[in-house]
Homo-oligomer: A and B are copies of this chain.
Amino acid sequence: MKEDVKVCFYPYEKDVVVKRGENLLRAALEAGVHINASCGGEGHCGKCRVLIKSGEAECRECKKLTPQEIEVGYRQACRTTILSDLEVFIPPESQLDKSALERKKGTQSSGRHISSQILEKLVSGARFNPALWKHFLEIEPPSTQDNTSDLSRLLLLLKRQHNIENVSVDFLVLKKLSQILRQAEWKVTVTLVQTRVESQLGEYQLRGSRRPKLINVEPGNTVDTHYSVVLDIGTTTLWGQLIDLTNGATLAESSEYNPQVSYGDDVITRIVYSQKKGGLKKLQELVVTAINRIINDLLKKSGKDRRFISHLTAAGNTVMTHILLGLNPKYIRESPYTPVANFIPPVRAIRLGVEVEDFVYLYTFPSVASYVGGDIVSGILGSGVYQRKDLTLYIDIGTNGEIVLGNADWLLTASCSAGPAFEGGGVKFGMRATDGAIEGFDIHPTTFEPMILTIGMVKPKGICGSGIISIIAELLEAGVISPNGKFNVELNIPRIRKGSDGFEYVLAWKEETQIEEDITITEADIDNVMRAKAAMFAGCHSLLEKANLKVSDLSQIVIAGAFGDYIDLEKAIIIGLLPELPLEKFLFVGNGSLLGAKLISLSNEMLDDGERIARKMTNVELSEDRSFMEKYIAALFLPHTNAELFSKTIQRMKAFKNASRAGTGGKK
């Protein structure tokens, strides 16, 4: 664990605590300290120069500085690694005037980022008890006196040594059993899985009665090598982890673009494509290909052997799950929007084309409805929401925004087709959260010059979801755009101009980018984001209304999505995506879907809980709800037409605007 270090920025005297090794520009962004920076962090623009007054910092390739400048302590913030507590002086060209500073002081660093390690503790009762396990058996060879079948011999020892009986057997085991027993001189390792035998307690009182099934026999003792692959099948991105089933450790993680993206950005366009001749098969092959690449990468990273993977679990939305399994998603798209099934039996993975041993089954998380999928069930499981007495609002901000409201007693859920804006879709320069995507943004309140930070700190290529939220919030606060999302053209600055899609703000000039054109954010982009955030916000309020509750009744707001790892909470509130609540009530769970998939791999009880959650969730269909539509229209404003809902935010913005005006006046 890296130690914490404190960085103090002058003249603002603003502190931020970061990990040793953090990038200085990033630390400034986190502290709410503006430093001009337009190359995304690659070091080419040279605008982000700062003066290190005390402390240790390493600067690599600060090419825009002379040796003399370096000598006296100047550094390019974007190329500088923090090695100890620092005092940093922001040079005049990057400095904000006092009034702007006031506003900046108001910001807090964003909510609680909680790593998976800690998050697992959110869920109680997750005893380490995987559904799959191994036993090493030294079997007495047959004799004339005792020549029962090879299988009986094995099962009898399993009963005697481990008290495991009533075992069913996968037919494929029989195909190789005799040969392996003899080759291994009767010393073998068996893999067992607990298969479900529901007791008849009705839908809501599922009890985890199980029956062991023998699924594999290996020569020798391999009990210490036993793995599971857990997958999150996102519309845009796939995530996978290799899990050690003997101790629950995560051995490797990997992700891949969902290659189906070429056939449509969202689930609706995927469904449309699936109805073309060969379309479903094509989409299924694409996602399986990506899963295979993820598995290859996991094995490469961990140095493990494919034949010891015994299990796959996957969480995905209903459409992604249907397509992965080759089930026709046609009727998900047609009113009244019915999936084929929400609970899907485990499927032999090689039959889908997944490159694992033939005995490996894929378990997919159950869904709730056409637009409330296994990924949400998985997230509710992983975040422990279903175990809490107090009220949680769970928000998964993705192409298809999904919301859950509830506690240990009840769970309401809804989906609101937010559109792909938060994943970079429907945005002119939108892109996935990979290298070159603008994720951090700050605007100088009087010069309106940007401070941009990209993922990988390279020249910008585009804007990712969290970047878009930051940009719109900053533009709004700085008065560059109005609450209706239109540009304030009166500002008369070169960065605001009329482009092919209406007015736009230039985030980075052509020569500062990787793509040889100006990167801008347009009014059309802002309009798309407003629609997306309005849908999410209206969805949350609709669910609250159904339950006769108010925002103030919420004890906790859980934000999920790989996206949720990077989102700036305060900025999300400013644009009205999230309700105005104290930041400490927000909790990021990152990829809840992947976490849930991992939990069910490691715990039989969690597997039961997952299904229990799916059965318990009540889906609220918003698409044809009038009250939802009204709420949606009311939310098509930044932050909202009803100022009462964002009173503090609006108040602060007003104060800032006045101060800015004053500042501008004072400056000139």
- Which A residues are within 8 Å of any B CB, using their own CB? 142-144, 146-153, 165-166, 168-171, 174-175, 177-179, 182, 196-200, 202, 211, 325-328, 330-331, 335-345, 347, 367, 369-370, 621, 624
Contact = CB atoms under 8 A, between A and B. Distances in A.
B621 A150 contact: no
12 contacts: A142-B338, A144-B336, A144-B624, A147-B336, A151-B340, A152-B341, A153-B338, A165-B200, A169-B341, A171-B325, A171-B347, A178-B330
Contact of A165 (B147, B170, B202, B339): B202
B344 A171 contact: yes
A178 B171 CA distance: 30
B369 A170 contact: no
A661 to B, nearest CB: 51
A300 B592 CA distance: 58
A179 B328 contact: yes
Contacts of A621: 144, 147
Contacts of A174: 325, 327, 340-341, 344
Contacts of A149: 338-342, 367, 369
A443 to B, nearest CB: 45
Given A147-B336, A165-B200, A182-B331, 20 more contacts: A142-B338, A144-B624, A146-B336, A147-B337, A147-B621, A148-B338, A149-B342, A149-B367, A151-B342, A152-B341, A166-B199, A166-B200, A168-B345, A170-B345, A174-B327, A175-B327, A177-B340, A177-B341, A197-B211, A198-B211
A146 B168 CA distance: 38
A339 B149 CA distance: 5
A341 B168 CA distance: 12
List of 9 A-B pairs having minimum Cβ-Cβ separation, nearest first: A151-B341, A147-B336, A144-B336, A149-B339, A149-B342, A142-B338, A142-B336, A178-B340, A149-B341
* Residue among A178, A345, A624 with the highest chain B CB neighbour number at 10 A: A178
A166 B198 contact: yes
A147 B347 CA distance: 25
Contact of A328 (B178, B336, B342, B370): B178
Contacts of A147: 336-338, 369-370, 621
Nearest to A151: B341
Contact of A151 (B144, B166, B343): B343
A358 B337 CA distance: 29
A175 B148 CA distance: 41
A147 B330 CA distance: 14
Given A144-B621, A178-B328, A211-B197, A339 B150 contact: yes
A219 to B, nearest CB: 16
Contacts of A338: 142, 147-150, 153, 178
A142 B179 CA distance: 53
* Residue among A153, A174, A369 with the highest chain B CB neighbour number at 10 A: A174
Nearest to A339: B149
A403 B507 CA distance: 90
A459 to B, nearest CB: 48
Given A171-B345, A179-B328, A150 B340 contact: yes
A367 B327 CA distance: 39
A177 B177 CA distance: 36
Contacts of A151: 340-343
Nearest to A156: B203
A126 to B, nearest CB: 26
A151 to B, nearest CB: 4
Contacts of A344: 171, 174
A441 to B, nearest CB: 41
A311 to B, nearest CB: 17
A391 B182 CA distance: 40
Nearest to A369: B147
Contacts of A367: 149
A336 B143 contact: yes
Given A165-B200, A177-B341, A347-B171, A150 B335 contact: no
* Residue among A146, A198, A202, A347 with the highest chain B CB neighbour number at 10 A: A198
A464 to B, nearest CB: 34
Contacts of A347: 171
A151 B343 CA distance: 8
A401 B255 CA distance: 62
